[in-house]
Structure 1
Amino acid sequence: MNTPRPAARTRTRGTVARAATGLLALALVLTGCTSDPLAEQYREGSNKGYVAGDGSVTEIAEADRGAAIEYAGVDENGDTVSSADYAGQVVVVNFWYASCAPCRAEAPDLQKLNEKFGDQGASFLGVNVRDQAANAIAFNDTYKITYPSVIDVDDGGMQLAFSDRIPPNAVPTTLVVDKEGRVAARILGQITAPSILSTLIRDTIAEGK
């Protein structure tokens, strides 16, 4: 039932963690057809409101990234956002929602990196998986977030587009998408070492030069 996944290099804060492999399409995951530990947390039904990632960083070699991911949605300001808008750019895609404690904790670091790489060929895009636009706008005001977020709570289109890279309900998750629209790296859980994400972004920007 599992679809083969690319070979990847995995790094964690201070220790080497096993790369997450064999992720299923979102529909299969939600029906329980997986042994993913994050899916197990999801099915436990804890009251914390999110599934905590383990902090693992998975990098995918260029030759193993597969096809480009196409997506589209509407952001908190009512503007249409699509993968075509980011053609030729590296895109950092962060899955979040306002009441998620790790999402709040990492927000300032994401904004700083957004400012750092804004003129270097990388853009940031949030995907809000639970809130309506008003909540997302309030969050942006509180944490001074300037990049847009697709409001994905109604149809889950963005989550489905990336479903082979993100476990069910694993929030936050941050993906680095290369210039060709393919996932180059993934961080499961809160970004507690911004320098790691900075390195992933810089290395992805440098590809092909």
Structure 2
Amino acid sequence: MNRHRVNQRRRIGPLLAGLAAGALLLSGCSADPLADQYREGSNKGFIAGDGSVTEIAVADRGDAIDFSGVTETGEAVTSADTLGEVLVVNFWYASCAPCRAEASDLQGLNAKFENKGASFLGVNVRDQAPNAIAFNETYSVTYPSVLDVDTGAMQLAFSGSIPPNAVPTTLVLDAEGRIAARILGQVTSPSILETLIRDTIAETGTTE
């Protein structure tokens, strides 16, 4: 009998440990590590994305994202500026290798959709204006980027819905300012992002 109880304890011990670990994992899923970092002001590194694509049905989208910031050229931007059209938001920084790799593709799509129902906005999470401007000149990027390194306000604005917890991350906002799609990591297939943008534009009935 004693040996049976010992064996039971040996089996139950790992089970309880596994349940405890699972509880920790579940509790961790409820928090956004990027948002926590910025609330702490720690300015730590970022999680590498895997390029996964998430689409959100219209009925399942959360509230509109309310944001404001200042671009690398000193221009103020707010979420109200682009309401009524699709907005593509790309989180990046200059020394990020996948950010450099996707830059020309993003710029190409920006040019393709200019005055056709969608615009682009970058969010630079680490650089000051000179580095961001130099990046734009190197990769011929013409759309603006909000400089977010000092406050993290843009990341916090987006963290309540689908947090961009990897850099780069690209979000597609619908005409009401709600997140319609996300690419977590480098945009390796511009055609996929183009389809996401076109599908979101189509929701408004806008035609080219």
TM-score bracket relative to the smaller structure: 0.7 to 0.9
Task: Name 2:151's counterpart in structure 1.
Answer: 155
> Secondary structure at the residue paired with 1:162?
helix
- Alignment equivalent of 1:24, drawn from 28, 31, 36: 31
Equivalences for residues 56-75 of structure 1 within 5 A = 56-75=52-71
**Aligned residues of 1:128 and 1:153 also touching (Cα < 8 A):** yes
Q: Cα 1:28–1:161, aligned 2, differ >3 Å: closer, same or farther?
A: closer
Structure 1 range deviating more: 109-118 or 158-167:
158-167
Q: Cα 1:28–1:155, aligned 2, differ >3 Å: closer, same or farther?
A: closer
- Alignment equivalent of 2:191, drawn from 171, 195, 199: 195
1:8-38 Cα distance to aligned partner (Å, 9 max, x none) = xxxxxxxxxxxxxx5634576549xxxxxxx
Distance 1:123 1:141 in 2: 19
Q: Which runs of 5+ in 2 are unaligned?
A: 1-28, 39-43
- Alignment equivalent of 1:86, drawn from 82, 88, 93: 82
Q: Cα 1:23–1:139, aligned 2, differ >3 Å: closer, same or farther?
A: farther
**Aligned residues of 1:26 and 1:163 also touching (Cα < 8 A):** no
Task: Name 1:12's counterpart in structure 2.
Answer: none
> Secondary structure at the residue paired with 2:197?
helix
**Aligned residues of 1:24 and 1:163 also touching (Cα < 8 A):** no
Report the identity percentage.
70
Distance 2:138 2:34 in 1: 34
- TM-fit CA distance, 1:87: 1.3
> Secondary structure at the residue paired with 1:88?
coil
Distance 1:28 1:171 in 2: 13
- TM-fit CA distance, 1:166: 2.2
Aligned AA (2:175): K
Task: Name 2:142's counterpart in structure 1.
Answer: 146
Distance 2:139 2:35 in 1: 35
Equivalences for residues 158-177 of structure 1 within 5 A = 158-164=154-160, 165-168=162-165, 170-177=166-173
Distance 2:202 2:189 in 1: 21
1:149-201 Cα distance to aligned partner (Å, 9 max, x none) = 00000000100000131254x10000000000000000000001000000000
Aligned-residue CA RMSD in angstroms? 1.8
- TM-score for both structures, normalised by structure 2: 0.78
Distance 2:180 2:30 in 1: 16
**Aligned residues of 1:58 and 1:187 also touching (Cα < 8 A):** yes
> Secondary structure at the residue paired with 2:200?
helix
Which structure has the highest helix share of the two?
2
Q: Cα 1:90–1:28, aligned 2, differ >3 Å: closer, same or farther?
A: closer
Task: Name 2:41's counterpart in structure 1.
Answer: none
Equivalences for residues 5-154 of structure 1 within 5 A = 24-25=31-32, 29-30=36-37, 50-154=46-150
- TM-score for both structures, normalised by structure 1: 0.77
- TM-fit CA distance, 1:119: 1.9
**Aligned residues of 1:97 and 1:129 also touching (Cα < 8 A):** yes
1:84-114 Cα distance to aligned partner (Å, 9 max, x none) = 1101010000000000000000000000000
Aligned AA (1:94): N
> Secondary structure at the residue paired with 1:68?
coil
Q: Cα 1:60–1:23, aligned 2, differ >3 Å: closer, same or farther?
A: farther
